[in-house]
Amino acid sequence: MVEAPAYPKLAGLRCAVLGAGGFLGGALAAALCDRGAVVRGYGRLANPDARDERIAWSNAEFSDASSLASVLDGQQAVFHCIGSSLPATSNGDPAGALLDDVYGTLKLLDLCVASGVTKVVFASSGGTVYGVPPRVPTPESAPTNPISAYGINKLVVEKYLALYRRLHGLDYRVLRIANPYGPGQSPLRPQGVVASMVRAALTGAAVEIWGTGEVTRDFLYVDDVVDALLRSAEYDGPERIFNVGSGVGRTVNDLLAAVQDAFGGAPFAVVRKPARIADVPVSVLDATLARRALGWEPKTGLREGILQTAAWMRGALTDFQVPLS
């Protein structure tokens, strides 16, 4: 049994969450506030009405160095959850994705060093940094040969984090996160097949599936991802790169069946699209290290997670500025 987390170091922690207006960053920022951290949020806020009042918010672009510098001033830790590009679209403009995601992050790291930030927690991507994995579940030591600019850029940031630690003593943790889903994930963005399917179940909209649906993924509920992020911020041992996944592979077709089942079994419309070249055929993470070093363990099963997502989305339907159906 893994004990309930205590997070003693988070109370009073002065930290910035970059990407706090997004799915993971938003959930993380709220969880940090729950634990007594003093949180500054940074990035684009999609829905200003949904803003968490406990968070001091800076609505600015990642490339805005002076805004970023003022937010970092006095912080102890930085959670970097900004990703400007997406796996499927990054390949259309790798040079642009490099500027947004890597160059921007190097400028961030320079500012962290100048500001005296002591630790960076980086949301990397377990589904893309390995590329087509030689085996699953995939451990952290597997070769890293991404097949998208998105995945390459996540990997490059990991390499630079190690360099900045060596050069400047800026400590870091990298979480290679599997496919997160859950409350807060917009069903209207191109990432998030669970959100897309739950929306379909609620509204009657069709689900888009790329390829045969036999692509296999490791779906992880957002609260479990957030727990890993919090634990990695607490952790001060020697490990720095952690897979964060359930270890269970499910095809998109499996997922479709699970969502249908959670909604009572009625099938919904599917639009089949061509397979995407940036999609690896299979991604399942071996999170043994996170279990051992962080005491982390995923707690929310897929069916429960789908139901939680549905409960949230019902409530959120009217809050979205873009119509959901």
Contact set with its own copies (CB under 8 A) = 91, 94-95, 98-99, 102-103, 106-107, 109-110, 141, 143, 145-149, 152, 155-156, 159-160, 162-163, 166-167, 277
> What is the rounded CA–CA span in Å between residue 157 and residue 20?
19
> What is the rounded CA–CA span in Å between residue 53 and residue 255?
35
CB of 46 or CB of 147, closer to its own copies: 147
77 contacts: CB under 8 Å, gap ≥ 6: 13, 14, 15, 16, 117, 118, 119, 120, 121, 233
User: In the complex, what is the shortest distance from the CB of residue 318 to its own copies, in angstroms, rounded to a whole number?
Assistant: 41
Out of 7, 42, 150, 235, the active site residue is 150
CB of 64 or CB of 254, closer to its own copies: 64
> What is the rounded CA–CA span in Å between residue 135 and residue 87?
21
Q: What is the dihedral of CA 193, 195, 197, 199, to 10 degrees?
A: -150
Q: Can you tell me which residue has the tokens 């957002």?
A: 222
CB of 91 or CB of 246, closer to its own copies: 91
User: In the complex, what is the shortest distance from the CB of residue 147 to its own copies, in angstroms, rounded to a whole number?
Assistant: 6
User: In the complex, what is the shortest distance from the CB of residue 87 to its own copies, in angstroms, rounded to a whole number?
Assistant: 12
150 is a catalytic site residue: yes
> What is the rounded CA–CA span in Å between residue 24 and residue 165?
25
> What is the rounded CA–CA span in Å between residue 192 and residue 178?
12
CB of 104 or CB of 184, closer to its own copies: 104
User: In the complex, what is the shortest distance from the CB of residue 128 to its own copies, in angstroms, rounded to a whole number?
Assistant: 11
- Report which of 207, 228, 104 is spatially closest to residue 156, judged by C-alpha positions: 104
User: In the complex, what is the shortest distance from the CB of residue 129 to its own copies, in angstroms, rounded to a whole number?
Assistant: 10
181 contacts: CB under 8 Å, gap ≥ 6: 192, 193, 194, 195, 219, 220, 221, 222, 305, 309
Tokens coding 101: 């995601």
CB of 113 or CB of 324, closer to its own copies: 113
Supply the residues annotated as catalytic: 150
